[in-house]
Chain A
């Protein structure tokens, strides 16, 4: 890739990264008690934030679709069991793959323990996929 093209890709990757990290932190997703309050319905703010985010994004997706196509996401054997494991881990650690990065940015360095666990889990997941012949699609 030419240097000009790779600069463009890096900028294209940096902008959504900065916005997402900033937003997740400003929303309070880096805070375990906020996430716990969301999951126990003690406070609807985070749920509304998420629902609102999905709705607004859907509007933008509709605009995008007029110009470009997008492949469908398959539903396969790993989808449900994986999501169940993920939800459990999120409730217990307060983190998802994005949130753990937000924690590090906020100075919550115990997130490094969670991050180590995530990398270990991603590695194990790869072995399980190969062993069980599960499809390895991803976002």
Chain B
């Protein structure tokens, strides 16, 4: 379609999204990962609450220990005793490490994808309310129930497949291949290959 971006503009857009994600979140871009976490929303949020509690407890413990040590020094307790307490506390020390991106941030990411697409469609005059697809899909899969079932079944395969593969077009395809990860390059070859094979098949049989 004439109104869509030429290949080089699209390439810049994809790279901008992948690299902004990488540099801002210190993690490669990948959409499918967010779905699994959002599905388990309550559990993920509970895990994050636990983590925050442990973080706070550990930080509290650490500050109590250092206050005690300061008091001991002030009241003239021998350095040898203080050293023993200090080494014990550093051994027990909390692992205050950074965890995964918060699941609420993942929700923001997904919502912003919708918003970005909305802006694009609105700016290009492509924004129309469609409850059913038009054109190629109904000509291939019929209308009504048959088409709806195809969309659901297709989605089911996408969800199941990306969960098992641990990535999708962005995770394996864009990020993984850009990182020259063998697993991602293989995954991309396979899902593109299947996409091509199945598309050629349905074009021949259904169109």
Interface residues of A (CB under 8 A from B): 1, 6, 9-28, 30-34, 36, 39-41, 44-46, 48-58, 60-61, 64, 68, 70, 72-76, 78-110, 113-126, 128-129, 134-139
Contacts and interface: CB of A to CB of B under 8 A. Distances in A.
Contact of A82 (B110, B115, B163, B178): B163
The 3 closest A-B pairs by CB, nearest first: A139-B30, A121-B159, A117-B155
Contacts of B18: 16, 53, 57, 60
Contacts of A87: 161, 190-195, 197-198
Contacts of B101: 9, 13
Contacts of B10: 23, 26-27, 45-46, 49, 52-53
B142 interface: no
Nearest to A53: B14
A139 B120 contact: no
Interface size class of B (residues with CB under 8 A): 35 or more
B28 A82 contact: no
A133 to B, nearest CB: 12
Contacts of A78: 164-166
A101 B106 contact: no
A138 B19 CA distance: 18
Contacts of B161: 81-89, 121, 125
Contacts of A114: 151-152, 154-155, 158
A100 B32 CA distance: 11
Contacts of B169: 90, 96-99
Given A101-B110, A115-B155, A49 B14 contact: yes
B157 A92 contact: yes
B181 A73 contact: yes
B117 A28 contact: no
A16 B108 CA distance: 10
A106 B121 contact: yes
A114 B186 CA distance: 26
Contacts of B6: 45
B178 A123 contact: no
Contact of B117 (A52, A104, A128, A137): A104
A84 B108 contact: no
B203 interface: yes
Contacts of B54: none
Contact of B116 (A22, A49, A96): A22
A11 B6 CA distance: 29
Most chain B CB within a 10 A radius of its CB, from A11, A30, A46, A57: A57
Nearest to A121: B159
Given A88-B154, A117-B157, 11 more contacts: A16-B25, A20-B170, A22-B120, A24-B14, A40-B200, A73-B183, A74-B183, A83-B190, A97-B31, A105-B115, A125-B36
